[in-house]
Amino acid sequence: MIYLRFLTIFALHPLLLVMLTPSGLLIGGIGYYISQAEEAEKATKRNGPAPVPVRVEAFDTTRPIRRAEEISIVGQIDPAQIMDISFTKKGKEREHFVLAPIYPIDAVDPTAPASGLLTHNGQLSDIQIHAFETGKGAIGPIVRLVGVRAQPYNLRTAFGDDVRVPIRLIGSAIFVSPYPKGREVALAPDNGLRNFSIGVMIVSLLIGLLGGLGHWGRLRQRRDESAGYLGTLY
């Protein structure tokens, strides 16, 4: 019913279609610009060297975080402290987080504050975590996490009052969001957003063209009707 009302409105006022065209072109243009910037950034990383592995306790967290900064962290993960945090709405999951403390490779006490945190927005399966493994430690698997340096946040307040995160971190802990399927997959070219943005711009132009033709047709119809009416007067 709502769609029929919209179609009726546009049929009666085709100029509205023309007015929508700039908005569509703007949205498509912004999406295209973002996609090109992201792909250029990935190409730069892809063609450059991979980040040098750094032990979690040796990472210099006093250095400012660069945009989409790639890092490679080596440490131990305690499997017992891996957390899956899920937020649902109307029975459907709308957001998911995976957290895990990272300890030095020679650490033996999992109750001590961790030197880093694996933080991932999305699903991260046991198989994917196992793919990071390079050895065994006293606490758990020794892993190499290649990904993006994440902005530190307060674990007590980040997920709301209803979610308790028992993970303890040192004050200078490094936060890393690993590539779930590896660096090669993460940096592979992806033209999805680019193609979608181009499609939006093409559709916007077509809508504007249809609206313009419709408006021109209505003007011509009115002119013919006016001419016919004047003809009846003479």
**All structural domains of the chain:** 51-186 (2.40.50)
Phi, psi values for residue 226, rounded to 5° = -65, -40
Minimal CA–CA distance to 44: which of 72, 70, 18?
70
pTM of the model: 0.71
Q: How many angstroms separate the Cα of 58 from the Cα of each of 40, 155, 157?
A: 31, 22, 27
- pLDDT of the residue at 225: 54
Instruction: Read off the pLDDT of each residue in 178-190 and give the average, rounded to a whole number.
Output: 81
Predicted confidence (pLDDT) at residue 9 exceeds the cutoff of 60: no
- Answer whether 123's CB lies under 8 Å from 97's CB: no
Instruction: Read off the pLDDT of each residue in 50-76 and give the average, rounded to a whole number.
Output: 91
Instruction: Read off the pLDDT of each residue in 162-180 and give the average, rounded to a whole number.
Output: 89
Q: 35-39, 40-44, 107-111, 120-124 — which one is most confidently predicted on average?
A: 107-111
pLDDT tens sequence across 102-154: 999 999 999 999 999 999 988 888 888 888 999 999 999 999 999 999 988 88
- pLDDT of the residue at 17: 66
